[in-house]
A and B are shown apart, each in its own frame.
Chain A
């Protein structure tokens, strides 16, 4: 397999009033499994349904109801583990995490504390071409989501919506390998990209289908390296956990705020309390949610309603064989096969749909670089203007390839190509036919071009004199000729002719 080599980025350093500080960040990302049915009940997971419409007896924790594992969700967790190059545990088990809350009908969440289904893996987090952070994954386990409590609909009552209760989540736990706010956001971005490639989570952060708990601590430069050597956490600072972040921007703001808060405490001689905090986006600050002393005692124990989950290596192998090409491999291939820059390859592989659109274009039009330019600059730029994504593109890969082929055969100029693209984008149609019908074909007939050049030169003797002094002014003549030919003249031919005539 082709590898793009990379250097690790420098950790972010925050200058305090007295010292420099570094950040150490670990994340727990909760990714909703892309599944039609919940983890332990057959109820639907459809987003946006009427409150309490997607609730089975199991989800409502009616007496005597029992959970039955949804095999599809297990498969998605295994697929995710394989995508993160992680250890798949053929035997895992479910535990109950006990606490009381109205949106948790059972009074416990079924999770996997002691024996998770996925063990150690890794994610390469791209920062810029040639620079990436390798973040180690500690584990992935599957668990139930909770419902939603609504406190602002009535002054005296709270309401509960159990639609989300029991939906399958994958909790992806990283090691504390992330060293700054930008890296944290990039980590979530990369994870999201991989999940979407795998199809195991739709990555919709707005709907809460992907959210992160961020553990932040600060330490003096040099301490992290000691931790790395020994894996002894005592070299690191006390961490605080910021719960439930579902925006890349807020993740960065919250980490930055939290790091500065901890630094201020430490520099004034205080100690950071280990606690759970919430980020308030309106005020851009984190607030204590509960201290270590107030932390729940979850009384985890093996769920006696579920047998240990045993899967077979052959099944895992089948899933592995069905994995799609993942972003890192695709990117490397784009660089190698199409001669793209790593930057362009990154942009095109950000999403499988972008990548397959590009591949369809390049397969038809040839010329990877030109195709990449047109997809990234023209198409993506145009789509972005209207807030559309690639799936909503009015221009098909065949149409775009058609335009590119016309450029390559010198049938149209780059400038005309942009006009043609706009026509195809707004009106549709076959690019070649449009060029024919609307007379957009480039004039390569040097006789016709020469006549136009002669005409302009004859009409502007003063300009000719100036241009003879300063050859840079030749561009003005080129522009005039292009204007006179309605942009259809072959610019290369015009340039050559203008230069020759001015030199006469």
Chain B
């Protein structure tokens, strides 16, 4: 029998239907792979019993016929999703011991379709980070290494555990969330595919909020077809989330024809950064050539406000976060500091939040509080909101001019070493998001597809940005790029 863990979602779906494999078999092989992969620290909470129960139920449903695509497919779930009765901590100490009494809408949809949950996946604390180094569970580790160098690399962040688990075949697919690049950057760092759909495609209900106007859930998968299948199962309107869109969910997979003849692909000049590594330049040029060869028209475009995107993002996201995280106060759930004699409510708040939040979260809460405070609101938050409108308009203008998708690098570099950025200015870490945050600010769909490797054999990804609500078209362009790039490398197992 082939190694079941290496299966893709589409393959597994077909094999399950043919009876070549059962969900229980798939699940058991993945559970045993997970057991042997603690070195990656991808799973922070394993749920083998739930997984096997769900797998058995899925097998029965498949046998009965008429099971949905995701039935019996084992997935990992980012710790940011509230899963009923299962620890859901957003990788934060402040949610110590928290087991929700409810199930997020996205996981509900997946489970209703028969998806199997293998466990909860590591991430940056409250999804704040680009390297999975802010997790209260410790770093998740990238299964890829630089040649023969055994230095541990970051899987990226914040969905680092999800990326590592998919890349290391510890699940067939994983859920991620993306506020400024948290799906696309880790996907690029680990040689997998990750799509952030249009803001409003997936319900945010039951996902621990970081920055509400930017957060979106999406799938992280081994290829574009899998992304199409899993995304379809995750998204759809939800009355419990006022910002979710009342639009039908298309059959994304059916739109994967690979035919992009006549499509107009925009190449934004502002994404050509000073000092960008030659490898990234080349990756991008190769991608352009591939799409052109596939029959697309390549057009140079300008998105003039791009240079303001990162500062805008790092005002808006912390502002929203400072308010969203106010509820973690030690009063009702999660961690509460031990108090000294005479301590009052203020001390309880201060000590609880000082102990419960890590440094990066504290930094962002403080930045957010500052930019919203009286006297600074207009200079920071309000100005950032205005710039955000301009950034959005940049995109609207190029789409109105006939551009179908925009091609950019996904990240400015390949995965870096864990600990390498510890001493650096936090802004250095924030620069990881330089190509991805614009998409969140504009609410657009964006997908990261692996298309090459760097000199040390590490995967590199390109990003495609699509028109709002046209994930199907975007996935098809990504599919064409994937076909042309033919990226098939896998990390060598060392763990």
Binding site for B on A (CB under 8 A): 57, 60-69, 96, 98, 100-102, 105-108, 158, 160, 297, 299-301, 304-307
Contacts and interface: CB of A to CB of B under 8 A. Distances in A.
Given A63-B98, A68-B239, A299-B323, A98 B205 contact: no
A269 B198 CA distance: 63
B382 to A, nearest CB: 9
A60 B243 contact: no
Contact of A98 (B90, B208, B212, B326): B326
Given A100-B329, A300-B377, 10 more contacts: A60-B332, A63-B88, A63-B327, A67-B242, A68-B240, A105-B327, A105-B332, A107-B323, A158-B345, A304-B212
A106 B240 contact: no
A307 B443 CA distance: 14
Interface in B93-108: 95, 98, 100-102, 104
Interface in B309-333: 319-320, 322-323, 325-327, 329, 331-333
23 contacts: A57-B102, A62-B82, A63-B100, A64-B204, A64-B205, A65-B205, A66-B242, A67-B242, A68-B242, A96-B323, A102-B345, A106-B327, A297-B373, A297-B374, A299-B369, A299-B372, A299-B374, A300-B372, A301-B320, A301-B377, A301-B381, A304-B212, A304-B320
A101 B242 CA distance: 26
B362 interface: no
Contacts of A158: 345
B16 interface: no
Contact of B212 (A63, A105, A305): A305
Choose among A57, A107, A297, A307 the residue with the greatest number of B CB atoms under 10 Å from its CB.
A107
B241 interface: yes
Contacts of B209: 63-64, 305
B327 A61 contact: yes
Interface in B196-248: 204-209, 211-213, 239-243
Contacts of B239: 68
B399 interface: no
B307 to A, nearest CB: 24
B205 A107 contact: no
B430 interface: no
Q: Which 4 A-B pairs have the closest CB atoms?
A: A107-B326, A304-B213, A304-B212, A299-B372
Contact of A105 (B104, B213, B240, B331): B331
B373 A305 contact: no
A151 to B, nearest CB: 10
A107 B372 contact: no
Nearest to B327: A61
Choose among A63, A106, A304, A307 the residue with the greatest number of B CB atoms under 10 Å from its CB.
A63
Nearest to B325: A107
Interface of B: 81-82, 88, 90, 95, 98, 100-102, 104, 204-209, 211-213, 239-243, 319-320, 322-323, 325-327, 329, 331-333, 345, 349, 369, 372-374, 377, 381
Given A158-B345, A305-B242, A62 B326 contact: no
B102 A107 contact: no
B106 to A, nearest CB: 10
B452 to A, nearest CB: 37
A96 B212 CA distance: 13
A501 to B, nearest CB: 88
A307 B199 CA distance: 13
Nearest to B215: A304
Contacts of A299: 322-323, 369, 372-374, 377
A312 B320 CA distance: 30
B102 A108 contact: no
A67 B373 CA distance: 24
Choose among A65, A68, A96 the residue with the greatest number of B CB atoms under 10 Å from its CB.
A65
Contacts of A65: 205-206
A66 B208 CA distance: 10
Nearest to A99: B326
Nearest to B89: A63
Nearest to B205: A66
A66 B209 CA distance: 9
A300 B374 CA distance: 9
Contacts of A100: 326, 329, 349
A304 B211 contact: yes
A305 B243 contact: yes
Nearest to B382: A301
Nearest to B374: A297
Contact of A301 (B205, B319, B329, B332): B319
A101 B377 CA distance: 23
Contacts of A300: 372, 377
Given A98-B372, A105-B332, A160-B331, A64 B242 contact: no
Contact of A64 (B207, B372, B373): B207
A300 B378 CA distance: 11
Contacts of B207: 64
B83 to A, nearest CB: 11
A63 B327 CA distance: 8
A65 B324 CA distance: 11
Nearest to A97: B323
B300 to A, nearest CB: 34
A246 B211 CA distance: 38
A110 to B, nearest CB: 11
B204 A66 contact: yes
A62 B100 contact: yes
Nearest to B331: A102
Contacts of B325: 107
A63 B326 contact: no
A108 B326 CA distance: 8
Contacts of B206: 64-65
Contacts of A160: 331
A106 B331 CA distance: 11
Contacts of A66: 204-205, 240-242
Nearest to A102: B331
Contacts of A297: 373-374
B213 A107 contact: no
Contact of B242 (A63, A69, A107): A69
A66 B102 CA distance: 13
A57 B81 CA distance: 15
A107 B327 contact: yes
Given A98-B323, A105-B332, A301-B319, A63 B205 contact: no
A123 B275 CA distance: 67
Contacts of B374: 297, 299
Nearest to B385: A302
